[in-house]
Amino acid sequence: MEYKISEFLSDKRYKDILAKLVQTNTTNLPGNEMEAIQAILAFFPKQGLDYHIIDHGKNRGSLVITIPGKIRNRALAFVGHMDTVPVPDAGEWEHSPHDAVIDEDDMLHGRGAADMKGGVTAMIVTALYFLEKEIVPPKTLKFCFTADEESGGMGAISMREHGYLDDVEEMIVPEPTKEMIGICEKGALWLSIRVTGKSVHGSRPDLGINAVEQGILFTEKLKQSIDMSYEDPLLGKTTFSINQLKGGIKTNIIPNDALVTVDIRTTPNIDHEEVIHTAENIVENMEKNKPGLRFNIQVENNRPAVATEENHQLVKDMQHIFRELDYDQSVKGLQFYTDASQLIPQLNIPFLILGPGKEEMAHQRNESIHLPSIEKVAGIFITFVEGR
Question: At residue 7, does pLDDT exceed 90?
Answer: no
User: What pLDDT digit, counting tens, does each position of 307-322 carry?
Assistant: 999 999 999 999 999 9
Question: At residue 48, does pLDDT exceed 80?
Answer: yes
| Helices assigned H by DSSP within 143-192 | 154-161
Question: At residue 106, does pLDDT exceed 80?
Answer: yes
Q: From 273, 303, 333, give the residue that closes a domain.
A: 303
Q: How many CB atoms lie within 10 A of CB 84?
A: 30
Query: Which is it for strands 257-266 and 331-334: parallel, antiparallel or unpaired?
Result: unpaired
Whether a cis peptide bond, with omega within 30° of 0, leads into 68 is: no
**Structural domain boundaries enclosing 142:** 5-185+305-386
Total domains, the chain? 2
Residues 173 and 218 in one domain: no
Question: At residue 345, does pLDDT exceed 70?
Answer: yes
Q: How far is CA 97 from the centre of its chain?
A: 20
Residues 172 and 193 in one domain: no
Residues 241 and 373 in one domain: no
User: What pLDDT digit, counting tens, does each position of 181-240 carry?
Assistant: 999 999 999 999 999 999 999 999 999 999 999 999 999 999 999 999 999 999 999 999
Question: At residue 364, does pLDDT exceed 90?
Answer: yes
User: What pLDDT digit, counting tens, does each position of 149-174 carry?
Assistant: 998 899 999 999 999 999 999 999 99
User: What pLDDT digit, counting tens, does each position of 283-308 carry?
Assistant: 999 999 999 999 999 999 999 999 99
Residues 65 and 81 in one domain: yes
Instruction: Over range 53-80, report the average pLDDT.
Output: 98
Instruction: Over range 265-282, report the average pLDDT.
Output: 97
Q: How confident is the model at residue 4 (pLDDT cuts 50, 70, 90)?
A: low
Note the pLDDT of residue 1: 42
Residues 251 and 286 in one domain: yes
Task: Say how far apart CA 103 and CA 20 lie, in whole Å.
Answer: 16
Q: What is the chain's mean pLDDT, rounded?
A: 96
> Which CATH number characterizes residue 55's domain?
3.40.630.10
Residues 180 and 294 in one domain: no
Question: At residue 3, does pLDDT exceed 60?
Answer: no
Question: At residue 9, does pLDDT exceed 80?
Answer: no
Residue 115 DSSP one-character state: I
Query: Which is it for strands 139-146 and 107-109: parallel, antiparallel or unpaired?
Result: unpaired
Handedness of CA 145, 148, 152, 154 (dihedral sign): negative
Question: At residue 261, does pLDDT exceed 70?
Answer: yes
Q: How confident is the model at residue 6 (pLDDT cuts 50, 70, 90)?
A: low
> Which CATH number characterizes residue 211's domain?
3.30.70.360
Residues 95 and 228 in one domain: no
Q: From 303, 326, 346, give the residue that closes a domain.
A: 303
Of 50, 19, 55, give the one whose Cα is nearest residue 37: 55
Question: At residue 36, does pLDDT exceed 90?
Answer: yes
Instruction: Over range 99-122, report the average pLDDT.
Output: 98
Residues 247 and 137 in one domain: no
Residues 10 and 101 in one domain: yes
pTM, rounded to two decimals = 0.93
Query: Which is it for strands 168-173 and 71-81: parallel, antiparallel or unpaired?
Result: parallel
Residues 241 and 380 in one domain: no
Residues 169 and 204 in one domain: no
